[in-house]
Amino acid sequence: MAAAAALRCCFPGSAVGGGFIRPSSSRRGRHAAAVVAPPPSSLGHRTRVDFPILHQEFDGAKLVYFDNGATSQKPYSVMKTLDEYYRSYNSNVHRGIHALSAKATDAYEGARRKVANFVNAADSREIVFTRNATEAINLVAYSWGLSNIKQGDEILLTVAEHHSAIVPWQFVSQKTGATLKYVGLTKEEVPDIEQLKGLLSNKTKIVVVHHVSNVLGSMLPIEEIVTWSKGVGAKVLVDACQSVPHMPVDVQKLGADFLVASSHKMCGPTGVGFMHGTFEMLSSMEPFLGGGEMIADVFNDKSTYAEPPSRFEAGTPAIGEAIGLGAAIDYLSCIGMDQIHEYEKELATYLYESLISVPNVLVYGPAPSQTDHRAPLCSFNVENVHPTDIAEILDLQHGVAIRSGHHCAQILHRTLGINASARASLHFYNTKEEVDVFINALKDTIHFLTSQH
């Protein structure tokens, strides 16, 4: 009951916090309050009612949405916030003195403060809004990388990085003559941290690593990597797209120079993401794009630039989307990221153990243990069955949505000796009952596909 009580803080009309004693409008002589039955026990049951997209059927099968690694669903409160912005105070920010512009600016900058608090940034000026995490990484590559990396320098990555964290640094390497170095996997199929440590040298200028792998479900020890990297004078960029939505992330504790994440994976709108960098670091960097908002003064032959974060937010930003991200953070914070993380660890173990019990299924990445927890996702293959066939039949015949392909991680898939995999990725609004539906549907799908040969 204590866990349920922690959910009582949310929003009018939200199911989070629902199922408790509600005030009655009855007058004296009648019951003062109506007792409503408590909600089902799991966090997934208590929150999924807030996500309207989850309550639909396909040919009589209830939707099971297990593609959260690609994008998350959005609660009512986020959609209401977006609708209110466009209906009530749609206006450009920072540039107008009228009431609508002032309200939009307050909400936009309020969202920046919410992001800063969410990741425990020292100052909201350390949060730069971008189009997505991909743009944030490109910002670092072009603004910091091209100014600080030269021929003979080294850029250190792991083979498990998302393409968004690899391709921009390939551009930098091609333009500067720097060398890309990759950390391989251990026999447990996690990035080899000892190899990473051994590859660090005074030639290393930046280390680019994920916090949680979108394929392996493993988590890297960022604090240790930062300590080792700083020991040789290297910067660290962390791709936190798969961690910020699922667990508490403290940028001051992690100590990385840059950290990026996307709104759409954390129950917020598409079209906006953010980058964190220390104010000192951001102040030392040149702009990424030129235009309005990022300038201080414009002369015929040159311009001077605004202080961060405006320096990196050229043109009209994604105002409604940023405000919607702020609403998503309100929602997640109301539940509590510690509670989300604890529930998802349980869900992750249940998913992994359920999957490995299916004959001829191979799950990639480390097994969960008491000390090493997996993210709530599993990439897998079925012997002699193509993952795209699995995903298609699960969708068409069972209403189960998973992902198939290389998950923007072709280097990792080649390292694993495969071309593609299927991936089931969960969020806090999913349940163990949905995992059971998925597993039964997978067994039926395997039988259907193998019996055809």
Residue 195 has pLDDT above 90, yes or no: yes
Least confident of 52-61, 150-159, 265-274, 327-336: 52-61
Task: Report the relative pairing of strands 33-34 and 22-23 from DSSP bridges.
Answer: antiparallel
What average pLDDT does the segment 287-294 reach? 93
- On the question of pLDDT at 142 being above 90, the answer is yes
Task: State yes or no: pLDDT of 289 exceeds 70.
Answer: yes
Burial 93-104 (b: 16+ CB within 10 A, else e): bbeeeeeebebb
Known catalytic residue at 408: yes
Q: 137: alpha, beta or left, given left = phi > 0 and alpha = psi -120 to 50?
A: alpha
How would residue 21 be classed by pLDDT, with cut points 50, 70 and 90? very low
**Res 283: pLDDT:** 96
330 closest CA partner among 174, 167, 159, 113? 113
Res 404: pLDDT: 98
Quickly state the pLDDT bin for 341 (edges 50, 70, 90). very high
Q: Give the mean model confidence (pLDDT) for residues 50-62.
A: 94
Give dist(CA 282, CA 409) in Å, integer.
Answer: 29
- Among 33-42, 84-93, 344-353, the range scoring the smallest mean pLDDT is 33-42
Sheet holding 127-130, edge to edge: 127-130, 273-277, 258-262, 235-239, 204-210, 154-158, 179-183
- For the chain, the C-alpha Rg in angstroms (whole number) is 23
Do residues 141 and 149 touch, judged by C-beta distance below 8 A? Answer: no
Mean pLDDT of the residues in the chain:
92
- The pLDDT value given to residue 16: 56
For residue 379, the model assigns a pLDDT of 98
SS3 167: helix
Instruction: Quickly state the pLDDT bin for 59 (edges 50, 70, 90).
Output: confident
Q: What is the pLDDT of residue 41?
A: 82
| Total-model pTM | 0.92
